[in-house]
Amino acid sequence: MLLASAVVVWEWLNEHGRWRPYSPAVSHHIEAVIRAGPRAGSVVLGQADRRLAPYLLDLHSMHQFRQDTGTIRPVRRSYYDPSSAPGKGVVWEWENDSGSWTPYDMEVGITIQHAYEKQHPWIDLTSIGFCYVIDFSTMGQINRQTQRKRRIRRRLDLVYPLVTGTLPKSQSWPASPGVSSSPPTPPCTCPQCLLVMSVKAAVAAGANGTAVPQQRKASALSGGPKPPIPAPGLKPPDGTATTRSSLKTLASQVSRRQAASTPALSSASSATSPPAANGKTTRASLNTLNRTHLQRLAIAQSRVLIASGVPTVPVKNLNGSSPVNPALAGITGILMSAAGLPVCLTRPPKLVLHPPPVSKSEIKSIPGVANTCRKTTKKQAKKGKTPEEVLKKYLQKVRHPPDEDCTICMEHLSTPSGYKGPQPAVKPDLVGKLSKCGHIYHLHCLVAMYNNGNKDGSLQCPTCKTIYGVKTGTQPPGKMEYHLIPHSLPGHPDCKTIRIIYNIPPGVQGPEHPNPGKSFTARGFPRHCYLPDSEKGRKVLKLLLVAWDRRLIFAIGTSSTTGESDTVIWNEIHHKTEFGSNLTGHGYPDANYLDNVLAELAVQGITEESTAQEKD
């Protein structure tokens, strides 16, 4: 234990293992629920942010539960210095592909804010595990591997809630019983809490290998005397009967509550925690509950809650397959309804990656697009031009450099280049201006940057990304097929679908790749992608063909999803790989996708003019 002041930030764990912060408003709401009383068990996040309407936070298990899909994620209560970014209401965000703003992880945001307050011109995030450089002069984030640049911003929000006093060293809630300084609070005897306690008692009994004796249906529903406990040696009922027995016992308690205004606490205790049988039993758990039993649980739950006046919504779709554990979903639904919260546990939407089967006779060529297949071979290296000769086409000499820094080496333009790598055959004090965008650099730095790149005769301004010449990539050899199939994509009911099939085999890296001579893997091929067969969809296809010919669709690097290195990865041009759903964000409907991918192609120097250049 330690005595201090800190700001509290509630965070949830995403699928990539990163802790993502809730907004200050949501954290304030969670803290307010905790302060409201020791009985706080769950928090409805939609009350603080309507975008989080499907989410419920369970304070006892420290998990976030999504009601419409059944997804459960861990949460934590973290403490940070009041002088850091969350204590000042400062939020650092980056612009995602859809044009909206995403906050950085709290650790990253605090690091960026610290450098900003120290008036550093930039900060490298490699030390905390991210291959990005934050440039405060341009308010941009630069990927050290791909050189892709995104906008960032700094905005002010609410200050995260401040707590003062004795804080637990661990970032968890609630504190362990040994740490708590307040006396235990007697349990509540309302119908909702009785239901929660009964279910918890039944689950705990099953988990410990102890079964609760099953009562006679007539006695339980009529509120009559309790039946005798089974004699030692008698085989106890299984975990399903255990939970069902507890619900029946609770129904009896509710009936007696309606007959008598204030039942004794000892009566509730005896009802929810009956003596254990002494006979041998198998270890039971929630996994022993099948869907039939869960339906019975849901029915019993509804009857009990309706009798106590608590509005409920039935737990649906417990039949059929689902990635969500039905037992966990059912019990969670019971506990949530017991708290008086609406429950809508439905089967998650099904991931539809591929269209229905299509025969060969139904596959057609695309009008206005030649052929149905493209292949790429190994890179055709352009010979006979030195880096200095290439750059001479795009640069104008600057005799009197302005009082600015070279954004490559971060040294003054009036002083020699600060580049420390292999020295190009260029004087380090020469300065040049790019002809289109007008940005000025040390010629020494530009030659070094060109030598570290693809050396294809093109140059890209590191500040504004303007492309000089024809940019090509390092995509390994492969095949791209494209054709029409007689099915429509969600959101595009009036047209057929263009299907693109990419196939790249594993191989050995060439001189332009990260590790020449080393083998590379190609996971997930063939990869199927989809476009609507509309005017704009065909336009995107034609530009993707140019990108394929220029070897810009794929690259060899480290996978952001699996962490595998020396493998084929997507190269900054997003594709839709889900045909009939959009569960991963890579499917349809997506009204902005075609415009977004056109913008991504333009960043690679591929526009409508590019198609004419390819024909020439």
Q: What is the largest CA-CA distance in the chain?
A: 103
Q: How far apart are CA 145 and CA 131, in angstroms?
A: 7
Specify the pLDDT at position 453. Answer: 78
CB atoms within 10 A of CB 216: 12
Specify the pLDDT at position 216. Answer: 37
Amino acid at site 47: Q
Whether residue 351 contacts residue 587, with contact meaning beta carbons closer than 8 Å, is answered with no
- Secondary structure of residue 589 in the 3-state scheme: coil
Q: How far apart are CA 34 and CA 169, in angstroms?
A: 19
Within 13 Å, how many C-alpha atoms sit on residue 316's CB side? 12
Percent of the chain with pLDDT over 90: 35
Long-range contacts of 492-496 (CB under 8 A, 24+ apart): 492/532, 492/534, 492/537, 492/588, 492/589, 495/532, 495/533, 495/534, 495/537, 496/533
Specify the pLDDT at position 611. Answer: 74
**Per-residue pLDDT for 183 more than 60?**
no
Q: How far apart are CA 575 and CA 68, in angstroms?
A: 27
**Per-residue pLDDT for 508 more than 80?**
yes
pLDDT, one tens digit per residue, over 16-37 is 778 899 999 999 999 888 888 6
pLDDT, one tens digit per residue, over 396-448 is 989 889 989 998 888 899 999 888 777 777 888 889 999 999 999 998 889 88
More confident residue, 316 or 15: 15
The token pair at 323 is 């990635």
pLDDT, mean over the chain: 74
pLDDT, one tens digit per residue, over 236-256 is 334 444 444 444 444 444 444
Specify the pLDDT at position 197. Answer: 52
Within 13 Å, how many C-alpha atoms sit on residue 105's CB side? 14
The pLDDT-based confidence of 378 (bands split at 50, 70, 90) is low
pLDDT, one tens digit per residue, over 273-308 is 333 334 333 333 334 444 445 445 444 544 444 444
Specify the pLDDT at position 283. Answer: 34
**Per-residue pLDDT for 137 more than 50?**
yes
DSSP class of 570: E
Specify the pLDDT at position 44. Answer: 86
Specify the pLDDT at position 174. Answer: 40
The token pair at 472 is 């090509």
More confident residue, 561 or 361: 361
For the chain, counts of helices (H) and of strands (E): 14, 26
Cα distances (Å, whole numbers) of residue 363 to 481, 502, 535? 12, 17, 19
Q: How far apart are CA 336 and CA 66, in angstroms?
A: 12
Q: How far apart are CA 246 and CA 214, in angstroms?
A: 8
**Per-residue pLDDT for 218 more than 50?**
no
Residue closest to 581 by CA, chosen among 322, 321, 348, 351: 351
Bridge-based pairing of strands 567-570 and 90-95 is unpaired
**Per-residue pLDDT for 12 more than 50?**
yes
Place of tokens 């997804």: 71
The pLDDT-based confidence of 578 (bands split at 50, 70, 90) is very high
Contacts of 517 (CB under 8 A, 6+ apart): 508, 509
Specify the pLDDT at position 408. Answer: 87
Whether residue 110 contacts residue 79, with contact meaning beta carbons closer than 8 Å, is answered with no
Contacts of 50 (CB under 8 A, 6+ apart): none
**Considering the entire predicted model, what is its pTM?**
0.48
Q: Which of 384-393, 408-417, 481-490 has the lowest mean pLDDT?
A: 384-393
- How do the residues of the chain divide into helix, strand and coil, expressed in percent and rounded to 5? 30, 20, 50
DSSP class of 110: H
Whether residue 459 contacts residue 451, with contact meaning beta carbons closer than 8 Å, is answered with no
Identify whether 526 is preceded by a cis peptide bond (ω within 30 of 0).
Answer: yes
Q: How far apart are CA 332 and CA 196, in angstroms?
A: 10
Q: How far apart are CA 217 and CA 248, in angstroms?
A: 8
Contacts of 299 (CB under 8 A, 6+ apart): none
**Per-residue pLDDT for 324 more than 60?**
no
pLDDT, one tens digit per residue, over 76-120 is 988 888 899 999 999 999 998 888 899 999 989 999 999 999 999
